[in-house]
Amino acid sequence: MGRSLKYDIPGDDWRLSALDFFEAASPEALDFSGPVAEAKKGGARSIESLFAQTLEPPFEVVLEIGFGRGEFLLDLAARFPGTAFLGVEVSFKRVLKLARKLARAGLTNVRLLEARAENVVRDLLPAESLDEVWINFSDPWPKARHEGRRLIQPAFVSELTQCMKWGGQLHVATDDVPYAEQIAIALKEETELTSGHPSHSWLPEVPGRMHTGYEEEWRAAGRPLHFFEYRRRSEVIHRISP
């Protein structure tokens, strides 16, 4: 019999809900009957305000998508206590477990949101709000007929880029070769992103980079790793209309 899930949080609970991303005073922000994009425009709060209780501005804002068991996010948050970390994860259980670990560790610079990253990026995050984004080993959906379920697709990359600050960094990793090829194309084709390794599609290793939980398993199994290091350009690119 599996161990039963513990629901209590032994300390501060840093989980957020989608409503926390909107100004409570703004009626249109709470009206989800209309297009969400309108609500976002009407009442989006700054990401910094979600950390105002525990961090003194100015501070950088880092997003990790699909944190899994959360080892990487916990390590980063402990190493950089003056930086704000937002973790987005679709699994309720994983969010709950990391909320418990954060409380036990007494870390106050992390906020967690249980949601699909695609929705968070499209509907909740304000433009130019992120200094850094990590997407580590997002599900590869290896069957050809499931390719469309992969997180990193051109439309998602474009929306995510708009949420990054100019000059902000994007780190992506995968162990899956076909997914790596798809990611390479999606990132290269986003005109507002620039690669830190322009003569290579990806890097097989990034010296000094911390390992994630799944990564430890893939390394032990001898799987090939693919790392992508991109940055949003530091100046506005004027798209040429056809």
Ligand X SMILES: C[S@@+](CC[C@H](N)C(=O)[O-])C[C@H]1O[C@@H](n2cnc3c(N)ncnc32)[C@H](O)[C@@H]1O
Residues with Cβ within 8 Å of residue 59, at least 6 apart in sequence:
48, 51, 82, 83, 84
When the beta carbons of 110 and 117 are compared against ligand X, the nearer one is 117
> For residues 67 and 98, is the Cβ–Cβ distance under 8 A?
yes
- The letter for the amino acid at 242 is P
Q: Which two tokens stand for residue 63?
A: 């997003």
Closest distance between ligand X and the C-beta of residue 65, in Å?
A: 5
Residues with Cβ within 8 Å of residue 214, at least 6 apart in sequence:
68, 136, 137, 175
Choices 22-30, 43-51, 65-73, 200-208 (CB under 6 A): range interacting with ligand X: 65-73
**66 in contact with ligand X (CB under 6 A):** yes
Residues 77-96 that bind ligand X (CB under 6 A): 88-91, 94
Q: Clarify whether 139 is annotated catalytic.
A: yes
When the beta carbons of 93 and 104 are compared against ligand X, the nearer one is 93
Query: Which residue is listed with tokens 């690119």?
Result: 237
Residues in the chain: 242
Residues 122-141 that bind ligand X (CB under 6 A): 136-139
When the beta carbons of 132 and 215 are compared against ligand X, the nearer one is 215
d(CA 184, CA 237): 21
Which member of 86, 184, 215, 227 binds ligand X (CB under 6 A)?
Answer: 215
Which member of 214, 223, 231, 233 binds ligand X (CB under 6 A)?
Answer: 214
d(CA 197, CA 89): 28
Choices 17-25, 64-72, 78-86, 153-161 (CB under 6 A): range interacting with ligand X: 64-72
Residues 194-213 that bind ligand X (CB under 6 A): 212-213
> For residues 64 and 98, is the Cβ–Cβ distance under 8 A?
no
Q: Which two tokens stand for residue 5?
A: 């899930």
Which member of 43, 68, 87, 168 binds ligand X (CB under 6 A)?
Answer: 68
> Residue 126: which of 59, 50, 188 has the closest Cα?
50
Considering the candidates 13, 20, 131, 139, report the single residue annotated as catalytic. 139
Q: Which residues here bind ligand X, judged by CB under 6 A? A: 65-68, 88-91, 94, 116-118, 136-139, 151, 212-215
Enumerate the active-site residues. Answer: 139
